Structure 1
Amino acid sequence: MFFGIYLIANFIVFRSWSPKLRPEASSCLISLAHGTPAVFLASYAVLADPSRGFASSNTQFQNLVLDYSIAYFLMDLVHYIVFFPSDVLFIGHHLATLFVFITCRYMVSHGAFAILFLLILAEVTSFCQNAWTLANARKADVVFAAKLYDFLSPPFYALYSVVRGLAGPYFLYEMGVFYVSGAADSVIPRWVWVSWIVVVLSAISVSILWISNLWIELYRKRTGKLEKKTR
């Protein structure tokens, strides 16, 4: 499904775009097809789980949502390997994310509640981020794209900062406290949940660094415009 969306994006939706931009735009479209639906699907999977515990066994619907995300990350991983093989940060991110999803889904069959809740936090900004990314790609040659980029930047940065800088770390802390207590050791091997914590902590740290740099860039841009106006 995601491969089909990628082909449609590349050869139909973005056919008039520059060949250099089409791969990134196509990646954004499959991200849109995954991100927002994944939030709703994962939310339902979490709320429909009567146990809702960090060590509870995966429900059938939770496994389905994990498969949905695994399919997306596999497709996007192929995209980066083919078109951006030097982007080791994104390739490493996708490999680590796939490791978490696959071990949860096919190896331990427990802990989907925690993983899917983290997926919700990760993808709740997906729609805004992908629209922002597409606008950023065309802002140099399309006036509307430049205006949309400027309009979306502050609210997107704010939402991303709250989710990745506050909600994410708090949930990871609660998750870590539970696993460190040993309450899940009988169903989730220690090395598995430790690797989950390391992967999520690394992802959150990189996200905070990324959004911090964007805030700094926005501040410099806005202050530079103000200085020009006062001269």
Structure 2
Amino acid sequence: MDSTSLISSMSSLPLFFAMYFTIYLTAHFIVFRSWSPKLRPEAASCLISLAHGTPAVILACLAILADSTTGFATINTHFQNTVLEYSIAYFLMDLCHYLTFYPTDILFIGHHLATLFVFVTCRYLVLHGAYAVLILLALAEITSFFQNVWTLASARREDSETARQVFDLLSPPFYVLYSAVRGFAGPLFVYKMVVFYSSGVADNVIPKWLWVSWICVVVMAISVSVLWISNLWIELYRERMFKLEKEKKST
């Protein structure tokens, strides 16, 4: 890729960031204006996540399928780079959100920084490996729609009967899908990445220190995700058992 095409392709990043920033402000001042100031930032974050998640999955799949020669060590296509920039812009916007409203939330801030490291180095440093990174992106975001609707319902379930019903209805299937992706599909693909990159065939385009860093970031993210969903399963089980005990006592 020459410098002219690189500069041209980079122009989409500020455009995507401006789009997410606009959606974020719209969420704050229009979509969720009736929500309490305490809940509004989280709701705005969910809205930009909704704007990113499902489109990112579709775009990532299209970008991979559009290149018949794509693989773990192939050079990124322009389409693949654009999808990476689409996600980089989202994580930058959401990182600004956390730094502004939740500066002590080290876990999410660290997650966003680590994710940006993977995307940015793939897009701008080595210009290879988008195939693997975009599949990981698709796996991570395939649950995004359900997770954001679940999060919004969870935020309002104490003062809205509709939100409580949505939360109760959505929780089990969302937990099942999330568990399957983060507990099985994700680790399986990471294993394939390790097998390929550890063979050394890609070291001339993706240095060992970099792909090892990518793997470490992904393994940590999956581990945290598995811990998070495990706690939610435990909480759901306790809530259901509590309801059963309460029903028994009332009969």
**TM range, smaller chain:** over 0.9
Partner of 1:147: 165
* Structure 2 CA distance for aligned equivalents of residues 180 and 26 of structure 1: 41
1:162-181 maps to which residues of 2 (within 5 A)?
162-181=180-199
Structure 2 counterpart of 1:89, from 107, 127, 130:
107
**Letter paired with 2:212:** V
Which SS does the other structure have where 2:68 is aligned? coil
* Structure 2 CA distance for aligned equivalents of residues 6 and 104 of structure 1: 26
**Letter paired with 1:57:** I
Alignment of 1:52 onto 2:86: no
Q: CA deviation at 1:52?
A: 2.4
Q: Render the CA deviation track for 1:198-222: whole Å, top value 9, x for unaligned.
A: 0000000000000000000000000
* Structure 2 CA distance for aligned equivalents of residues 228 and 21 of structure 1: 31
Partner of 2:95: 77
Alignment of 1:225 onto 2:243: yes
- Root-mean-square deviation (Å): 0.4
Q: Render the CA deviation track for 1:162-185: whole Å, top value 9, x for unaligned.
A: 000000000000001100000110
Partner of 1:214: 232
1:98-177 maps to which residues of 2 (within 5 A)?
98-177=116-195
Which SS does the other structure have where 1:57 is aligned? coil
* Structure 2 CA distance for aligned equivalents of residues 117 and 48 of structure 1: 14
Gaps of 5+ in 2: 1-18
Structure 2 counterpart of 1:184, from 184, 191, 202:
202
Q: CA deviation at 1:51?
A: 1.6
Gaps of 5+ in 1: none
Q: CA deviation at 1:50?
A: 1.4
* Structure 1 CA distance for aligned equivalents of residues 64 and 174 of structure 2: 25
Which SS does the other structure have where 1:186 is aligned? coil
**Normalization by structure 1: what TM-score?**
0.99
**Letter paired with 2:179:** S
**Letter paired with 1:182:** G
**Letter paired with 2:210:** V
Structure 2 counterpart of 1:67, from 54, 61, 85:
85
* Number of aligned residue pairs: 231
Q: Render the CA deviation track for 1:31-65: whole Å, top value 9, x for unaligned.
A: 00000000000000111121221111100000000
**Normalization by structure 2: what TM-score?**
0.92
* Structure 2 CA distance for aligned equivalents of residues 156 and 46 of structure 1: 26
**Letter paired with 2:164:** A
**Structure 1 runs of 4+ off > 6 angstroms?**
none
